[in-house]
């Protein structure tokens, strides 16, 4: 295991290559430019393909094409760039393609700002395109998590035949931090997987009994489309299955907590440190931090003992809040929920979280 100091975006790209990513297409947009730049340097050295698309729209279409060949493939962008990719993201979800997308979030809406934000929560978890599809959405709060999540994202994409979204932010993308890099997947493993994927890939029939057709409304490996409603039901069953197999969250000091702070991504990291300071000050505070924001970890909130809770503080870098509404939906007024918010590229501060937590907590 190597421990190295890396910049977030470069660590994300390196983790992807070690996970066996052999195709990357992207288009310049701050704050994720180091991702495509890193791929453009490294892909020729590992026999992979790097393509600079003419737009985010085209880059995501290229990812669709690469995904159709059964190769491990990825794109990255930021916020308004992801909006442009939403066309192909919906198609890749509809076609059940195993691809990875990384959104290094910036301020919004529209051009917004180039600084870090968490303003794409709804887009990431609810509607990254038309048609009501879902993705697994991984939300790293540290560089190590970003590396581990990107690494696992490719396995998850292959396992579920579904796009996987890594929702990072400009903070995580730009900072430098020591990370332990995972071992690179072997060429033998990747070749065997690609051979296996020939059961559905569109690269020529190669003697198969029937042709392969990929597109929305098709289960990979089929020769033609099925009734769309049937396909929608199959996909729905897959999304539902994630609620038992893919829920992933950090439960920190919640055992005796009278106040829960909840946040994801970089806001989750800052909240964790606020919990430590509040605990040192005698406040019984805990943290619920989803590592995956879809599927949402409802169980983390269901298992709380609301009779002893003073409230929940939901923190995020988005005004209006978005993550808050998923918390609210599961808490169902069993305890008061307050928010601590920043937005538009402003970083949430630990002191502000502590102050809001103390207000909600009341007398010790």
Partner 1 sequence: MEEKIYKRPAGLQDNINGYCPGCFHPGIGKLIMSVMEEFDLLERSVMVDGIGCVASNMSYIGIDELNTPHGRPCAVASAIKRCSPETIVVTYQGDGDLASIGLAETMMAANRGDNISVFFVNNANYGMTGGQMAPTTLMGMKTSTTPYGRNAQEHGYPMHMCEVLNTLTAPSYLARVTLIDVPHIKKAREAVKQAIQHQLDGKGFSMVEFVSNCPTNWGLTPQESIQFIKDKMLPEFPLGEFRNR
Residues that bind partner 1 (CB under 8 A): 22-23, 25, 49, 51, 53-55, 57-59, 61-66, 68-69, 71, 73, 87-88, 91, 95, 201-207, 211-216, 224-225
Residue 100 CA to residue 111 CA, distance in Å, equals: 23
Minimum Å distance from CB 58 to partner 1? Answer: 4
- Do 61 and 99 meet the contact criterion of CB atoms below 8 Å apart? no
**Tokens in use for 288?**
């619920």
- Do 16 and 185 meet the contact criterion of CB atoms below 8 Å apart? no
Using the minimum distance from each CB to partner 1, give the nearer residue, 222 or 299: 222
- Do 13 and 56 meet the contact criterion of CB atoms below 8 Å apart? no
Using the minimum distance from each CB to partner 1, give the nearer residue, 68 or 166: 68
Using the minimum distance from each CB to partner 1, give the nearer residue, 32 or 59: 59
Contacts of 332 (CB under 8 A, 6+ apart): none
For the chain, how far is it from start to end, CA to CA, in angstroms? 45
- Do 181 and 147 meet the contact criterion of CB atoms below 8 Å apart? yes
Using the minimum distance from each CB to partner 1, give the nearer residue, 161 or 289: 161
Minimum Å distance from CB 22 to partner 1? Answer: 8
| Run of H or E including 25 | strand 23-26
| Run of H or E including 196 | helix 187-197
Residue 212 CA to residue 68 CA, distance in Å, equals: 10
Minimum Å distance from CB 63 to partner 1? Answer: 7
Instruction: Residue count of the chain, please give it.
Output: 364
Using the minimum distance from each CB to partner 1, give the nearer residue, 73 or 101: 73
**Tokens in use for 184?**
């690179």
Contacts of 124 (CB under 8 A, 6+ apart): 103, 135, 137, 165, 167, 293, 294
Minimum Å distance from CB 227 to partner 1? Answer: 15
Minimum Å distance from CB 207 to partner 1? Answer: 6
Minimum Å distance from CB 136 to partner 1? Answer: 22
Using the minimum distance from each CB to partner 1, give the nearer residue, 47 or 282: 47
Using the minimum distance from each CB to partner 1, give the nearer residue, 213 or 350: 213
Contacts of 361 (CB under 8 A, 6+ apart): 258, 259, 283, 285, 310, 311
Using the minimum distance from each CB to partner 1, give the nearer residue, 176 or 223: 223
Using the minimum distance from each CB to partner 1, give the nearer residue, 91 or 323: 91
Residue 329 CA to residue 317 CA, distance in Å, equals: 19
Residue 310 CA to residue 43 CA, distance in Å, equals: 52
Minimum Å distance from CB 223 to partner 1? Answer: 9
Using the minimum distance from each CB to partner 1, give the nearer residue, 62 or 168: 62
Minimum Å distance from CB 201 to partner 1? Answer: 8
- Do 7 and 38 meet the contact criterion of CB atoms below 8 Å apart? no
Largest CA distance in the chain: 75
Minimum Å distance from CB 164 to partner 1? Answer: 18
Minimum Å distance from CB 77 to partner 1? Answer: 15
List, edge to edge, every strand of the sheet that includes 285-290: 249-252, 285-290, 259-262, 311-316, 337-341
């Amino acid at each position: 295991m190597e421990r190295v100091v890396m910049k977030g975006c470069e660590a994300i790209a390196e983790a992807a290559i070690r996970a066996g990513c052999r195709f990357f297409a992207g288009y310049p947009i701050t704050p994720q430019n180091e991702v495509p730049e890193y791929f453009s340097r490294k892909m020729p050295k590992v026999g992979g393909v790097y393509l600079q698309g003419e737009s985010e729209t085209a880059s995501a279409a290229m990812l669709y094409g690469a995904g159709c060949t059964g190769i491990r493939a990825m794109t990255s962008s930021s916020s308004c760039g992801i909006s442009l990719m939403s066309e192909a993201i919906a198609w890749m979800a509809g076609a059940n393609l195993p691809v990875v997308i990384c959104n290094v979030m910036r301020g919004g809406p529209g051009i917004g700002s180039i600084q870090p934000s968490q303003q794409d929560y709804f887009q990431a978890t609810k509607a990254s395109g038309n048609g009501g599809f879902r993705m697994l959405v991984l939300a790293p709060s540290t560089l190590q998590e970003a590396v581990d999540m990107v690494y696992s994202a490719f396995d998850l994409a292959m396992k579920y035949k579904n796009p996987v979204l890594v929702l990072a932010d400009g903070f995580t993308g730009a900072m430098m931090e020591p990370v332990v890099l995972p071992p690179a997947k072997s060429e033998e493993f990747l070749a065997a997987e690609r051979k296996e994927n020939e059961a559905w890939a569109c690269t020529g029939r190669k003697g198969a009994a029937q042709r392969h057709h990929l597109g929305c409304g098709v289960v990979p490996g089929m020769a033609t489309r099925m009734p769309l409603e049937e396909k929608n039901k199959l996909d729905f069953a897959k999304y539902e299955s994630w609620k038992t197999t893919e829920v992933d969250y950090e439960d920190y000091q919640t055992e005796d907590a009278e106040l829960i702070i909840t946040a994801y991504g970089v806001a989750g990291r800052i909240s964790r440190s606020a919990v430590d300071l509040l605990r040192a000050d005698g406040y019984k505070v805990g943290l619920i931090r989803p590592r995956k924001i879809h599927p949402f970890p409802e169980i983390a909130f269901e298992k709380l003992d609301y009779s002893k809770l003073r409230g929940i503080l939901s923190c995020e870098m988005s005004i209006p809040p978005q993550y808050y509404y998923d918390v609210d939906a599961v808490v169902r007024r069993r305890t008061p929920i307050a928010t601590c918010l920043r937005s538009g590229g402003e970083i949430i501060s630990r002191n502000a979280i502590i102050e809001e937590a103390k207000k909600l907590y009341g007398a010790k």
